[in-house]
Amino acid sequence: MSILVVGSVAFDSIGTPHGRVQKCLGGAATHFALAASYFTDVRVIAVVGEDFGPEQEAVFTRRGIDIRGIEHAKGLSFHWTGEYSGNLSEAKTLGTDLNVFADFEPKIPEAYLDSEYLFLANIDPKLQAKVRAQMPNAKLVCGDTMNYWIADHRETLGEVLKELDVLLINDGEVRMLSGEHNTVRGAEKVLAMGPKALVVKHGEYGATAFFGDRMFLNGTPNPFRAPALPLAEVVDPTGAGDSFAGGFYGYLASQPSLTSAAFRRALFYGGVMGSFAVERFGTERLQDVRLAEIEDRFRLFKEISHLEEHPGDVPA
């Protein structure tokens, strides 16, 4: 199964209590594609500038990611500057330079048209809509967005939401989109905007899936909560949400059918990939994870959230 992803491919300048990096490879589609590449084939639609060269390309191709859909344009690539302080829970955006993304007209290469899974990663909803329109036969459509687009592009975003099977956003974005402080009430309002399911990412505290009445009835726990791994050291949270999405969607695409059990396991794999992403700056950690490490961590996720009696349990 192949995933087609459209989203930002960028250079990020990031400051965290662990240090600072200038213009390292980033972007929502980049983090997503790397995380998903451990589970399935991934194809990318994006635009980059003249500052994106063989070194950056190799990060994708070493993981077998198809980048024939990355267009090269005159000018500079998207550049995001952000900073984290204190508990590293939320990035403060210091700069968003769209650069070549400002005039991007996405075109899907012929070879991508049979992609069954479409992921609309964080980017201008106008671009998400253009890609969605060119993929009418996608089997599953999943998407993300952020405060930057919710604030000023609500109408276009509303059109994108109507077409989604699954929306993945964080708590703050649910509040902003719904106008509700309470996540459960906010989720109800967001589901009424179109998506069949909503996955709310809680950063270091895991994620919760809310299912609308067009998805997984028949006793599926609703909502369903998946854990995150308590980590002693978070070096750089940038891309954790996109890596979560990549693990989640990559795993789903690798499964023979979309069952609620596969969906719940996918949420755990999302957490697994997010937990790797934050261990180093930028995409460094996600460039090189071993499959055995992914499976070990998946087992750990199951263990830390399992309440059934354990055969080895003895009275204290």
Q: What residues line the site for ligand AMP (CB under 6 A)?
A: 8, 10, 12, 26-28, 31, 80, 96, 122-123, 146, 148, 238-242
CB of 306 vs ligand AMP, minimal distance in Å: 28
- 119 DSSP 8-state letter: E
Choose between 52 and 216: whose C-beta lies nearer to ligand AMP: 52
CB of 96 vs ligand AMP, minimal distance in Å: 5
| C-alpha angle 162-165-166 in degrees, rounded to nearest 5 | 105
User: Cis peptide before 230, with omega less than 30 degrees from 0?
Assistant: no
CB of 207 vs ligand AMP, minimal distance in Å: 13
Q: Which amino acid appears at position 278 of this protein? A: V
CB of 308 vs ligand AMP, minimal distance in Å: 33
CB of 60 vs ligand AMP, minimal distance in Å: 14
β-partners of residue 170 are 201
- What is the helix (H) or strand (E) element at residue 41, kind and residue range? strand 41-48
Q: In what order do the strands lie in the sheet with 2-6?
A: 70-72, 41-48, 2-6, 117-120, 140-144, 166-170, 197-201, 207-211, 224-226
Q: Which amino acid appears at position 35 of this protein? A: A
Choose between 122 and 178: whose C-beta lies nearer to ligand AMP: 122
CA dihedral (108, 63, 75, 28) positive or negative: positive
Q: In terms of Cα–Cα distance, which of 18, 5, 4, 6 is closest to 281? A: 18
Choose between 92 and 299: whose C-beta lies nearer to ligand AMP: 92
Q: How many residues does the chain have?
A: 316
CB of 62 vs ligand AMP, minimal distance in Å: 19
Q: In terms of Cα–Cα distance, which of 5, 1, 286 is closest to 142? A: 5
Q: How far apart are CA 62 and CA 287, in angstroms?
A: 8
CB of 121 vs ligand AMP, minimal distance in Å: 8
β-partners of residue 168 are 144, 199
CB of 67 vs ligand AMP, minimal distance in Å: 17
- What is the helix (H) or strand (E) element at residue 13, kind and residue range? strand 10-16
